[in-house]
Structure 1
């Protein structure tokens, strides 16, 4: 099985989504304290930025892969 850009984009998308979802899951399970309303701490979180960058990279790679498939 060969690893294509589509596979890489899918993997990056999954990891990026997991970075976004992890703090939410931790709060729902009671393992992390909820942040104060309006604090914006989640936007300053390194995990949030990693998720954002990985998601953008996945979208970019998926666009490249679809252009290569189309000709």
Structure 2
């Protein structure tokens, strides 16, 4: 894959990861989910939140790979 393709892939994964992070927050703000007690530590840590976390980490690594490819030639 060339650097531009890796860059676009990382941006796409980053956008999907952000959406996974934001969805539980938006649901809670709209009152569509049951609120956990404050300080419980699991109020927003749904499987969707963890998927967003993993996708964001992968996107960051791909972005670094793309930047190295662009700098290297």
Unaligned residue ranges in structure 2 (runs of 5+)? none
TM-score (norm 1): 0.86
* 4+ runs deviating over 4 angstroms: none
Aligned length in residues = 69
Q: Which residue of 2 aligns with 1:34?
A: 35
Aligned Cα root-mean-square deviation (Å): 1.6
Unaligned residue ranges in structure 1 (runs of 5+)? none
TM-score (norm 2): 0.84
Q: Separation in 1 of the partners of 2:31 and 2:39?
A: 20
Q: Deviations over 1:27-62 (max 9, x none)?
A: 11121122211111123x211111110000000000
Q: Which residue of 2 aligns with 1:52?
A: 53
